[in-house]
Amino acid sequence: MRTQVAIIGAGPAGTLLAHILAQAGIEHVVIERQSRDHVLSRIRAGVLEWGTVETLRRYGLGERMDRDGHVHNTINIAWRGEEVLSIDTVDRVGKRMMAYGQTNIQEDLYRAADERGAAIVFEADDVALHDLTTDHPSVTWSSGGSSGGSAGGRTERLDCDYVAGCDGFHGVARQSIPAGLRREFEKVYPFGWIGILSETPPLPILLYANHERGFGLCSMRSPMLSRYYVQCPLTDTVDDWPDDRFWTELLGRLPRSQAEQIVTGPSIEKSIAPLRSFVAEPMSHGRLFLAGDAAHIVPPTGAKGLNLAVADVLYLSHGLIAACKGDPGPLERYSDTALRRVWGSVRFSWWLTGLLHRFPGQTDFDQRAQEQELYHLSQSALAQAAMAEQYVGLPY
């Protein structure tokens, strides 16, 4: 087979890139390791920067989001178990956010792909990238085999002009850049988040919590689907967190005024996510270009992961479209352009994670210093604007 752009990974980055390239008439094929249902089964991001909202609308992907999404005007942080500071992002920086789950976005992207008859190869095993530093890269994989590997399966080959590595943190694309040419920056946090979905009415606001027992977060997916998180030790498993313990810990980390508004109920999904900051430089190698989690990971505290993937795809699609039409300039600048925004979001997510979580070995001084910064944030319009402009998303 032959195409112009081979896209590795059919998560939000890969399928949004495919959607934009299709509208520009650029031929492409998406190659995904998992099944379509497996990709759709993942519960991940929930808050969209306004730039992401406008991007989805611009490419005809906003109809269900505008119908079912919930627009937020404030970021709220509970602290010391009694205070709640509220940052009005419209007052401070003239922008809003949208609560609309990544799962919904993925469903919308797959539906659009079906409508245009997109070429997405699911359950591709042993994906490998070849000749990335030549003018004729290619991708191989095995399909139709037994459960794992190429045993009994056919080996497929796709010749292409460019490869977009949208295959996430554990993918093959970043690993296809020689280690000697990659520089990686990583910070692993000494805790995780346990998250649940419950079919209960959510709080009307997005509420973070700093508490000496640890971080908490109240979010939503729809008027009858709530998303909650509680900081937990990395050594914990889901089995350590029966629903009763989860609700007790969450409510115990909130002021009574908020806790008494929370409607508890049985969890319909429960998972633990580790927290890490990671950036791989550069985000390109020959004809390979990385986008999304393939190149960077942020702790979900700042709600940046999915939004960064969208920004990368916007820059990369612009570069690929220009290159396929004879102008190599934007693509040559892709890595530098994307990394400038990546590091902005990585730093912001690191800062907010440090402000809101209880670190092992944290002293009473450390807790007080966090609470003083939260007090300053509650009192200073300038401090609130500085946080709000990064939370709702800086201009592309």
Catalytic residue among 72, 211, 285, 296: 72
Site string for ligand FAS, 120-139 (x = CB under 6 A): ----x--x------------
Pick the closer one to ligand FAS by CB: 313 or 361: 313
Contact between 47 and ligand PHB per CB under 6 A: yes
> Shortest CA distance to 102 belongs to which of 13, 167, 37?
13
Contact between 303 and ligand FAS per CB under 6 A: yes
Task: Using the structure block, give the residue that is written with the tokens 């659009």.
Answer: 112
Q: Which residues contact 24 (CB under 8 A, 6 or more apart)?
A: 317, 321
Name the closest residue to ligand PHB (Cβ): 46
Contact between 12 and ligand FAS per CB under 6 A: yes
Contact between 301 and ligand PHB per CB under 6 A: yes
Task: Please report, in angstroms and rounded to a whole number, the separation of the first and last CA atoms in the chain.
Answer: 35
Minimum gap (Å) between residue 93 Cβ and ligand FAS: 19
Minimum gap (Å) between residue 356 Cβ and ligand FAS: 14
DSSP character string of 41-69: H-----EE-HHHHHHHHHTT--HHHHHH-
304 is catalytic: yes
For residue 25, count other CB atoms closer than 10 A to its CB: 10
125 binds, among ligand PHB, ligand FAS, none (CB under 5 to 8 A by kind): none
300 is catalytic: yes
219 binds, among ligand PHB, ligand FAS, none (CB under 5 to 8 A by kind): ligand PHB
Contact between 44 and ligand FAS per CB under 6 A: yes
Residue from 6, 7, 13, 254 that binds ligand FAS (CB under 6 A)?
13
Strands (DSSP E) along the chain, which ranges? 5-8, 28-31, 47-48, 70-72, 74-79, 83-88, 97-99, 120-121, 125-130, 138-143, 154-159, 162-165, 183-198, 207-210, 216-222, 225-232, 267-281, 284-285, 288-290, 296-297
Contact between 304 and ligand FAS per CB under 6 A: yes
Catalytic residue among 300, 318, 334, 357: 300
Contact between 303 and ligand PHB per CB under 6 A: yes
Q: Which residues contact 202 (CB under 8 A, 6 or more apart)?
A: 218, 219, 220, 221, 223, 225, 226, 227
Residue from 14, 69, 153, 214 that binds ligand FAS (CB under 6 A)?
14
59 is catalytic: no
296 is catalytic: no
> Shortest CA distance to 99 belongs to which of 226, 216, 192?
226
Q: Vertex 132, ends 126 and 133: CA angle to 5°?
A: 155
Contact between 300 and ligand PHB per CB under 6 A: yes
The CA–CA distances, whole Å, from 85 to 106, 239, 387 equal 33, 34, 13
Minimum gap (Å) between residue 302 Cβ and ligand PHB: 6
Longest Cα–Cα distance in the chain = 66
Catalytic residue among 208, 228, 229, 334: 208
Residues that bind ligand PHB (CB under 6 A): 45-47, 217, 219, 227, 300-303
Residues that bind ligand FAS (CB under 6 A): 8-14, 31-34, 39, 44-46, 102, 124, 127, 166-168, 170-172, 273, 292-294, 300, 303-306, 309
Q: Any idea which residues carry the catalytic annotation?
A: 72, 208, 300, 304, 391
